[in-house]
Amino acid sequence: MGDKADVWQGTLALMILKTLETLGPLHGYGIARRIEQTSGDLLSLNYGTLYPALLKLEQEGSIESAWGVSDNNRKAKYYKLTSAGRRQLEREARDWRQAQAILAKFLSATEPST
Amino acid sequence: MSEIWKTSRAWFERLGGLFHKAQREAELAAELESHLQLHVEDNLRAGMTREAARRDALAKLGGVEQTKERYRDRRGLPFLETALQDLRFSLRTLRKSPGFSFVAILVMALGIGATTALFTVVRSVLLKPLPFKDPERLIRLYEYSADDKFAYNVVSGGGFAEWRKESHSFSDLAILGEAQYGLSGVAGQLPERVMASNCSWNLFPMLGVEPALGRGFASADDQPSASATVILSWGLWKRRFGGDPAILNQTIHLDAKPYTVIGVMPSWFAYPEQSVQLWTPTYHEESPELMQAIDDHEFSVVGRLKPRVTEAQARTELSVIMRRLHDQHLDIPFVSKAANSRPLLEAMVGDARTALYVLLAATFCVLLIACSNVASLLVARGATRRRELAIRTALGGSRRRLLREHLTESFVLSLVGGAAGLLIAYGVIQWFVTTRQDMSRVEAIRLDGVAAAFGAGMILFCTFFAGATSSFSIKSHQILSSLQESSRTHSPGQSPVRLRKALLSLEVGLTVLLLISSGLLLKSYEQLRATHLGCITENVLTMHVDLPDAKYSQPTQRLAFFETLLDRLRTLPGIRAAGIATSVPGEGYGGDNGFTIAEHPPLPLDKTPYAIHRWADPGYFAALGIPFLRGQIFDKNQRLEKASEVIISESFARQYFGAEEPLGKHLLTLGRKPQKIVGVVGDTRHRVWERPQPIMYFPLYSGIRERTTLAIRSTSDVTSFALPVQRIVEQLDPELPVSDVLTMGQVIGQSTLDANFEATLLLAFAGLSLLLASVGLFGVLSYIVAQRTPEIGIRLALGAQRGALLRLTLLDGLKPAGVGLALGLAGAAAATRMISSLLYGVAPLDATVFVAVTTLLLAVAGIACLLPAWRASRVDPVIALRYE
Amino acid sequence: MSESKLDLLQGTLDLMVLQTLAAMGRLHGYGIARRIEQVSGDAVLLNQGTIYASLVRLQQRGWISAEWGTSTNNRKAKFYSITKRGRKQLSEDAAYWQRLSEVMGRVLALPEGSDNK
């Protein structure tokens, strides 16, 4: 509640959904790599934290998983967006942009006086 | 909406995550492994060595185990999962020791079952409000007898009339009398005697009860001139009239007189008593003289207080009226000077209260003992698992977690035991309701939601008592120190043993308390049984024969019936004697009369003495073996209006004549001519627990119009005469009902039923707790001996005497028993005062009972300790030292 | 208004409070709430009461301090001000948010269904 951790959880979930939308079905490692690539050196991502987030999204019905074979012939669990997940992504992306706008206004409008 | 759906879906999934664990676990491992492989391959491509690639992948993941742990938290429901895990663990440990589990569950079941059953009875009988309208405004009213002997005396018809006329505290006042009727048989049914109540017409409206069928009494029915009406109980209507609604407005015959059935009461309605089967209107049934008499106390009175009037105000008002009545009639003895009252509920349950509370307290003691035993067993098991616990603590299993395990274990035991206990409670209540039909409000006893909630509460109580108590032995520093102990399983650490000894003392103390209480009750019951009624009780059969007024209106008719009956009975082979009286000893008070002695100077009116009256035929005394001390039996001419003789009892002679010769003196009783005393007979008791009181016997052959009891005595088994005797009565009058065919032993048994019942129940509880306590003693001592086997071995090897060892071990077990005994004796000394009202001829501090209980307990404790102690002394030092 | 949006904005509430106190100086609870409403509209605070949960949390962590005082219209009120540690926290959190925001901006800017591998 009202914690940085929650913000991070929400943000991570949104990143996963967006990644899956952009790239289609992908395994956990692939998602992690992708997010890391995109964020560059701005964020350090512990890959392990991704899995509980994936599980949560799956439990909520936003994504689903199935075992498949990777490009280099390795068995891996692939995740893909469900239609409910697609709707959730839309909604959350919109909300996020709005929140971002508000906060940006906040931080710029009232620069710390000291 | 979608949020709620999403969240609940997630919860459902997580619930599903509790199952197929192994499969899910494997899948997670596979997924993480594939993740690592993918990463390693990427790293290899980037030019890392295989080792560095793997290390980097692991580092990026943040550790496989940590990831799994976080994943698991999300997958299932962690708190539920640990609870389930605890539960499975307890079930496994309990299954591993079935003996322990069985005993513990049995103990819990008995404890919880008995407590819940008794609670249900107490709540139903003592605490539930009466099923009437505004029951808290209903009070029962009494006269306070002028001689202070009866604080709650029944009320005279005249007194009631005066109250009704003068008082302003009540919105209504109703009167009830006891009655019995011979219900004539129709269409081949046998005639039967039914208990009845005659009540003023306003009783049912005042209680707020309406008949289930037909109408209640109207004031027009409740008059001497009205035509006879009757209202049936639901039970009688079903049983005797097949539940046929056409019974309304039909005529039935009571005591051979026609009555019109106007209504049927609802099935739950049982007032004034469960045994009442029909109601008739008082003023129609009783003579106007009786309803106006102010010195003939016959009736129960119930009143409904007006709003804002307190019971005390009402009582004061009635007392003032009573006092005025007394002062206006100084020429009449036995007019009360004051009134008394108590809430109707209290009046109805009256005597049962103390007994029920005692029984409830007793069951609670048993429950405590049961819990202590289970706690003690848990401690014992905990102690043998110390090293396992210590290791787990060191590995991070928290103390809280251990406490939770104890609690879960005792919860499982209590839950299973409690479930069985509720079944037991159900059975006990069914049994109680059928055995104790005589207790008032027994119809209200039901195992309902509140009782079930109480049972659940008991389960929780047991869980926490047993679980938490046994957890006192878990102390973190001790757990650590037990790790530092050498690998040798030396002394187990003192804390668990000390705790078990304390629990044991508690058990023994409670057991002693129960043993003493039941011992006292049992002794007073024996005392009651052994009390001599003053007559022969072996091979005597009694039965009620009641001549209906309608058919036997003339004294000559009644006389003829009695004489013919007795003549025929006396010629029956095997019958030694037969007699008829209005009541036999042990059957109850039966009524009294005021009298004066003609030859003595007159006493002031309010000092007029009174004595119990009986009417008896001349053969009655011989039939029951009541000894003749002086004088003779009634003369042959003592019949009908010629009757003028009276026989008095020994205590009558002693109390009113002292050294003087009573024979030839005359008694004056109200409305009768002087009666000459012709004989003195031995004392008899009208109730087993009452002291013999003065009795005067008048000739039955005067043709008295009273309910009578027939008594026959035989040479052999008297019960075999029940049928022949009834057949003789039937020959004389086929419509005459014979009722309450009982042996004298049963008559006494009925009046000692309560005492017997309470003593037996309490004894059963005491026996149970004695068993539990000895099992506890045995268990603790066996355990101590087992723990100390190596030490004993060393001592033996060093030359200790086996006898000394035996003594030492024995003392070890007897000490907590001794402490418990002292506690129990002290507790009993205080507690037995509270049951003194249930005791007869036994002091609350009866020495024999205290000594007997002490001896018994020490003996049982000794035996329980002997086997383990003997085992200790037999230890083979070589084996003991190798013992690991 | 969906809950997830609230969650997200709730998560940033502490940050907004710190920022407000840093910008405006000493302020009472109501003043803080008003200020946040002015800047964000009704999107952040479900009601003004939510602000107090945040104030307690921040106090417990030692990032703001509170004292009783009198408001401009002579009412007794509890005034909050940011502490030194609070300022440090604020700059850290603001930086974190900036980074998060930038990453998210990049992620969200990805075209749907593209594969730029």
pLDDT tens, residue by residue, B218-261:
999 999 999 999 999 988 898 888 888 999 999 998 888 899 99
- Which of B405, B379, B735, B701 lies closest to B551, judged by CA? B735
Confidence grade of residue C117 (pLDDT, cut at 50, 70, 90): very low
Of the listed ranges B153-162, B373-382, B667-676, the least confidently predicted one is: B373-382
For residue C45, the tally of other CB atoms under 10 A from its CB is: 22
Dig out the tokens for B273 from the structure: 């008593």
Alpha helices in A1-114 (DSSP H): 4-23, 28-39, 50-59, 83-109
Confidence grade of residue B671 (pLDDT, cut at 50, 70, 90): low
Please report whether residue B95 resides in a domain. Answer: no
Dig out the tokens for B444 from the structure: 């209200």
Chains within contact range of chain C (3+ C-beta pairs < 8 Å): A, B
* Same domain assignment for residues B507 and B422: yes
What mean pLDDT, rounded, does chain B reach? 82
Alpha-carbon distance of B433 to B283, in angstroms, equals 35
Give residue-wise pLDDT tens across range B402-444.
677 778 888 888 889 889 988 988 888 888 788 776 666 777 7
pLDDT > 90: what percent of chain B? Answer: 22
- Which of B875, B665, B702 lies closest to B788, judged by CA? B875
Contacts 24+ apart (CB under 8 A), A77-83: A77/A27, A77/A28, A77/B27, A77/B30, A77/B31, A77/B34, A78/A25, A78/A26, A78/A27, A79/A16, A79/A20, A79/A25, A79/A26, A79/A27, A79/A28, A79/A31, A79/A54, A80/A20, A80/A24, A80/A25, A80/A26, A81/A17, A81/A20, A81/A21
Dig out the tokens for B321 from the structure: 């009226």
Residues 6+ apart with CB under 8 A from B373: B104, B107, B503, B507, B772, B775, B776
Q: How far is CA B5 from the centre of its chain?
A: 55
Count of A-B CB contacts under 8 Å: 75
- Answer with the residue of higher pLDDT: A88 or B385: A88
Confidence grade of residue B215 (pLDDT, cut at 50, 70, 90): very high
* Same domain assignment for residues B306 and B255: yes
A103 Cα to chain C: minimum distance (Å): 8
Q: What range does the domain containing B239 cover?
A: 154-335
* Strand extents, DSSP E, B184-274: 192-199, 213-214, 229-232, 251-254, 257-264
Q: Is A70 on the interface with C (CB under 8 A)?
A: no
Query: What one-character DSSP code corresponds to residue B126?
Result: I
Interface of A with B (CB under 8 A): 27-30, 32-33, 46-49, 51-52, 55-56, 58-62, 70, 72, 74-77
Average pLDDT over residues B35-48: 84
Q: Which of C1, C2, C3 to probe the B interface (max B CBs under 10 A)?
A: C3
For B:21-60, CB contacts with A below 8 A are: 27-28, 30-32, 34-35, 37-39, 41-42, 60
Domain A4-109 coded CATH 1.10.10.10: yes
**pLDDT score of B586:** 84
Alpha-carbon distance of B337 to B146, in angstroms, equals 6
Q: Under CATH, what is the fold of the domain C3-109?
A: Arc Repressor Mutant, subunit A (1.10.10)
Domain boundaries, chain A: 4-109
Q: Is B14 on the interface with A (CB under 8 A)?
A: yes
Using DSSP's 3-state secondary structure scheme, residue B483 falls into: helix
Q: Give the residue on A whose Cα is nearest the Cα of B3.
A: A60
Chains within contact range of chain B (3+ C-beta pairs < 8 Å): A, C
Dig out the tokens for B506 from the structure: 């508690």
* Same domain assignment for residues B289 and B383: no
Alpha-carbon distance of C115 to B796, in angstroms, equals 87
Q: Is B65 on the interface with C (CB under 8 A)?
A: no
Cβ–Cβ below 8 Å for B67 and A70:
no
Please report whether residue B623 resides in a domain. Answer: yes
Using DSSP's 3-state secondary structure scheme, residue B630 falls into: strand
Cβ–Cβ below 8 Å for A75 and B7:
no
- Which of B646, B643, B649, B651 lies closest to B664, judged by CA? B646
Of C16, C104, C106, the CB nearest to A106: C16
Alpha-carbon distance of A88 to B239, in angstroms, equals 73
Residues 6+ apart with CB under 8 A from B559: B639, B640, B701, B703
Give residue-wise pLDDT tens across range B133-185.
888 899 999 999 877 778 888 999 999 999 999 999 999 999 999 888 888 87
Asked whether residue B2 carries a pLDDT value surpassing 80, the answer given is no
Chains within contact range of chain A (3+ C-beta pairs < 8 Å): B, C
Count how many domains chain B has: 4
Please report whether residue B546 resides in a domain. Answer: no
* Same domain assignment for residues B587 and B725: yes
Dig out the tokens for C96 from the structure: 């974190």
**pLDDT score of C5:** 46
Average pLDDT over residues B362-370: 82
- ∠ Cα B542 B547 B550 (to 5°): 165
Count of B-C CB contacts under 8 Å: 3
**pLDDT score of B491:** 45
Q: Is B62 on the interface with A (CB under 8 A)?
A: yes
**pLDDT score of B440:** 64
What does each C-alpha distance from B96 to B99, B101, B102, B837 come to in angstroms? 9, 9, 11, 50
For chain C, the C-alpha Rg in angstroms (whole number) is: 17
Dig out the tokens for C32 from the structure: 């803080």
What does each C-alpha distance from B240 to A69, B185, B192, B237, B613 come to in angstroms? 87, 9, 10, 6, 36
* Same domain assignment for residues B427 and B384: yes
- Which of B502, B420, B507, B500 lies closest to B459, judged by CA? B420
Cβ–Cβ below 8 Å for C100 and A97:
no
* Same domain assignment for residues B724 and B827: no
**pLDDT score of C115:** 46
Q: Which amino acid is at B528?
A: L
Backbone region of residue B625 per phi and psi (left: phi > 0; alpha: psi in -120 to 50; beta: other values): left
Place of tokens 């940085």: A4
Cβ–Cβ below 8 Å for A15 and C15:
no
Give residue-wise pLDDT tens across range B459-493.
888 888 887 777 766 554 444 454 444 444 444 45
Q: Which amino acid is at B125?
A: V
Residues 6+ apart with CB under 8 A from B137: B304, B305, B307
Of A52, A72, A76, the CB nearest to B74: A52
Q: Are B3 and C3 in contact (CB under 8 A)?
A: yes
Give residue-wise pLDDT tens across range B538-580.
888 888 888 887 788 888 888 899 999 999 998 888 889 999 9
Cβ–Cβ below 8 Å for A96 and C10:
no
Domain boundaries, chain C: 3-109
Element (H, E) at A80: strand A75-81
* Same domain assignment for residues B640 and B765: no
Of A29, A49, A75, the CB nearest to B39: A29
Alpha-carbon distance of B258 to B249, in angstroms, equals 12
**pLDDT score of B486:** 42
Q: Give the residue on A whose Cα is nearest the Cα of C94.
A: A107
Q: How far is CA A40 from the centre of its chain?
A: 15
Dig out the tokens for B605 from the structure: 């009116």
* Same domain assignment for residues B800 and B722: no
pLDDT > 90: what percent of chain A? Answer: 27
Dig out the tokens for B577 from the structure: 């004697």
* Same domain assignment for residues B759 and B868: yes
Q: Which of A46, A69, A71 to probe the B interface (max B CBs under 10 A)?
A: A46
Phi and psi at residue B623, in whole multiples of 5°?
Answer: -60, -40
Q: Give the residue on B whose Cα is nearest the Cα of A44.
A: B60
Give residue-wise pLDDT tens across range A1-49.
345 666 788 888 999 999 999 889 999 999 998 888 888 878 777 888 8
List the beta bridge partners of residue A80.
A64
Q: Are B467 and B406 in contact (CB under 8 A)?
A: yes
Helix C13-24 vs helix C50-60: angle between axes, to the nearest 10 degrees? Answer: 80
Q: Is B3 on the interface with C (CB under 8 A)?
A: yes
Q: Is B5 on the interface with C (CB under 8 A)?
A: no
Alpha-carbon distance of B511 to B522, in angstroms, equals 16
